[in-house]
Amino acid sequence: MVTIGDRTAPRTHATNPLLTWWAMILETFPVGALQSNCTILGCEQTREAVVVDPGDEAGRILDRLAELDLRACFIFQTHAHFDHVMASRAIKQAHGALICLHPADASLYESLPVQAATFGMQVDDPLPVDAFLEDHAEIVWGKKSTAGAGEAPFSSGSAPGRHRGILIHTPGHTPGSACLYLPELSVLFSGDTLFRAGVGRTDLWGGSFPDLVSSIRERLFTLPSDTLVIPGHGPTTTIEAECSMNPVMAM
């Protein structure tokens, strides 16, 4: 668990003065048989939250939202593989949260039961995507100090007074793989594009290794070096660490 704001924060970001200003709850925990990292991003003031990659164990995610007194307003799916989206239905039904996905993964998302069956699992058809978000789209929620009246939940520009996450399209693992970048916190949710000392597989539906390498080198390794990376599986890392040790740098 990592909570940013008045409580605890990653050691690598402990001196960042923006953490307290943002008053952000950030908790990451693995869910499901494949131990996909699910994250809750909650505003301490408005109690609005974004859930990133609710891959399974919907009851556990909903219980934690209730314990934190948070209402999910967005579900950000980094890509449409079953182990990152299976709990989206339950969270949507319980909280009315908007399901977000890059449009290039639309067909993969619609084939969720087929995907799960390939791995010996059975799931319901997914609920419709509420918002197909393109590269550079922003999700805005909660507030940092004073939120402006009438601000839109999706934006292509800055959103003063509100928390914001920027979508970075990173095709390769899937055609619509996308990362969520929080610039004020210098945090990146990399899905299955980038792992600690590794990268996502490309032998599944729509994968492309050349696209994956280009996405990482051109779109992620250009972010600030102190960016904390929370991947779709496994431990956290930083952009600086991956630039120095990730095998993709030798490709």
Domains of the chain: which residue ranges?
Answer: 17-250
Q: How many whole angstroms separate alpha carbon 197 and alpha carbon 65? A: 31
DSSP 44-108: TTT-EEEEE---S-HHHHHHHHHHTT-EEEEEE-SS--GGGTTTHHHHHHHH-PEEEE-GGGHHH
Topology annotation, domain 17-250 = Metallo-beta-lactamase; Chain A (3.60.15)
Helix (H) or strand (E) holding 238: strand 237-238
Helix (H) or strand (E) holding 241: helix 239-245
Q: Which residue has the tokens 């991947």?
A: 231
- Per-residue pLDDT 10s for the chain (251 aa) are 333 333 233 333 333 333 434 578 999 999 999 999 999 999 999 999 999 999 999 999 999 999 999 999 999 999 999 999 999 999 999 999 999 999 999 999 999 999 989 888 888 899 999 999 999 999 999 875 443 444 456 554 445 557 999 999 999 999 999 999 999 899 999 999 999 999 999 998 889 999 999 999 999 999 999 999 999 999 999 999 999 999 887 77
Helix (H) or strand (E) holding 232: none
Q: How many whole angstroms separate alpha carbon 135 and alpha carbon 182? A: 14
How many CA atoms does the CB half-sphere of 251 hold within 13 Å? 17
What pLDDT, on a 0 to 100 scale, did the predictor assign at position 84?
Answer: 96
Is 87 exposed, middle or buried, given 0-12, 13-18 or 19+ CB atoms closer than 10 A? Answer: buried
* CA-to-CA dists, residue 30 to 17, 35, 37, 40, 181, angstroms: 28, 5, 4, 12, 20
Q: Strand pairing partners for 31?
A: 36
- Write phi, then psi, for 217 (nearest 5 degrees): -70, -40
Report CA Rg, the chain. 17
Confirm if 131 and 178 have CB atoms less than 8 A apart.
Answer: no
